[in-house]
Amino acid sequence: MSDDPLPPPPTPAPGRPTVRTAAVIPAAGRGVRLGPGAPKALRALGGTPMLVHAVRAMADSRAVSLVVVVAPPDGAGEVRSLLDTHALHGGPPSGSRGSTDVLVVPGGESRQESVKLGLDALPPGYDIVLVHDAARPLVPVDTVDAVVEAVRDGAPAVVPALPLADTVKQVEPAAAPGGPEPVVATPDRSVLRAVQTPQGFDRATLVRAHETVTDDVTDDASMVERLGLTVVTVPGHEEAFKVTRPLDLVLAEAVLARRRLNDGF
């Protein structure tokens, strides 16, 4: 035995300082397009609330050590107790995936506002932030890790993206829903991508984007684009689809059933 003092602290790989990653999960939406019922994030998928699946999907990544859940404005208490009653990490109890802290904060009227409230609640010490829709409960961990990796590699903003299956038309929107709409153009599909979440950011960049951009947007990366910064894509995954309409719930149940079969449940 040598008489060395304490073992040295773990050394990060060269050029790879350890950066801590947090995930903000906006879950404050009502889910109007899904039809009447509980707020979308609280609806069951395979018997477990969609939000719990989404939190697990983030917690399953070794990179993510904190999850901030943005709950419906009047439902933070309910969400807190819901998360307290569900184990966050799947797999065997001895699994070495480590622990993930979870904060719950009340959300706002728009997704943008909810994400901002989640960012405001983020403690210091997290330099990479993922923003992940509660409505994408089945994103595979490899997709999460690929996003984190690209931010670690220096991209200020990263989005998982997939090629489009359908041809897309630009139209002159009809005055009344369902009316005929003249087609204005057919964009070249080969340069279009459908983007998903988690979207990953250098924290300071995302905070600046939320402080600067006030236009209505449907994702966080577009706010970073408005700052004039380059957003890059990594390959998305078909199982990271967003549960939006009733048919998406059918698909999500089927994906989950297939996973459970494959996992030998």
Q: Pick from 49, 107, 156, 236: which binds ligand CTP (CB under 6 A)?
A: 107
DSSP lists the bridge partners of residue 175 as none
Which residues bind to Mg ion, rule: CB under 5 A? Answer: 29
User: Does residue 160 touch ligand CTP according to CB under 6 A?
Assistant: no
Q: Does 75 bind ligand CTP (CB under 6 A)?
A: no
- Distance in Å, CB of 28 to ligand CTP, minimum: 3
In angstroms, give the least distance from the CB of 26 to ligand CTP: 3
The minimum distance between CB 110 and ligand CTP, in angstroms, equals 5
In the complex, minimum distance from the CB of residue 128 to Mg ion, in angstroms, rounded to a whole number: 25
82 binds, among Mg ion, ligand CTP, none (CB under 5 to 8 A by kind): none
Type of residue at 75: G
Cis peptide leading into 198, omega within 30 of 0? yes
Residue (27 or 252) nearer to ligand CTP, CB: 27
> What residues have CB less than 8 Å from 158, skipping those under 6 apart?
147, 150, 151, 199, 200, 201, 221, 231, 232, 233, 234
Asked if 110 interacts with ligand CTP (CB under 6 A), we say yes
CB of 215 vs Mg ion, minimal distance in Å: 16
Among 38, 46, 62, 108, binds ligand CTP (CB under 6 A): 108
Residue 84 within binding range of ligand CTP, rule CB under 6 A: no
Rounded-to-integer distance, Cα 198 and Cα 139, Å: 8
Residue with Cβ nearer Mg ion (73 or 140): 73
* 67 binds ligand CTP per the rule CB under 6 A: no
Complex with ligand CTP: residue 69 or 224, whichever CB lies closer:
69
Binding mask 13-32 for ligand CTP (x = CB under 6 A): -------------xxxxxxx
Least Å distance, CB 51 to ligand CTP, is 8
Residue in 53, 252, 20, 27 with CA at minimum distance from that of residue 141? 53
DSSP 3-state assignment of 238? Answer: helix
CA distance 200 to 23: 9
Print burial letters for 66-83: b (CB count within 10 Å at least 16), e (below 16): bbbbbbbeebbeebbebb
Instruction: Determine which residue in the list 109, 215, 216, 263 makes contact with ligand CTP, applying CB under 6 A.
Output: 109
- Tokens 């060395």 locate to 4
> Cα(135)–Cα(23) distance, rounded to whole angstroms?
14
Look at residues 186, 241, 190, 195 and name the one whose alpha carbon lies nearest to residue 222. Answer: 195
- Which residues are at the interface with ligand CTP (CB under 6 A)? 26-33, 40-41, 70, 107-111, 114, 133-135, 242, 244
